[in-house]
Amino acid sequence: MRGIHPDNPVTLHPDDAVQLGLHSGDQVYLETPGGRAKATVILRHGVQRGVVAIEHGFGHRELGARAHRIGDKTQPHEPSIGVGVNLNDLGLSDPSRKGRNVFVDPVAGTTVRQGLPARLVQA
């Protein structure tokens, strides 16, 4: 994916952008019950009105995103692997439940990664 673009912008319908006063290239915070991340706005007519779309697979902390030392050798790393929004930071924890709980889809019973309640706040 990084070969197409370096990060995962927040994509929304142009009509929603007008209501929010946003333009392509603007910086926003994407906020969910589980977290907050800074992202860039991209407008696309192909996104349903009222929906914020963002690609998976960005914002890694491992997989070569940071250097590791094993014994006397430093392992190769590529900082660009860590660029973008990691959706796990936004959707896995459920702050509405006591203790450490994952945010669960009430219909499917799976961990929520699609269909998170979210809002955009200008950065």
pTM, entire model: 0.74
Mind listing the pLDDT tens digit for each residue in 104-113?
666 666 666 6
CATH architecture assignment, domain 10-122: Beta Barrel (2.40)
Say if residues 45 and 94 touch (Cβ distance below 8 Å).
no
Which residues, 6 or more positions from 120, have their beta carbon under 8 angstroms from its beta carbon?
Answer: 10, 12, 20, 22, 28, 29, 30, 31, 41, 52
pLDDT in tens, 2-53: 677 788 899 999 999 999 999 999 999 999 877 899 999 999 999 999 999 9
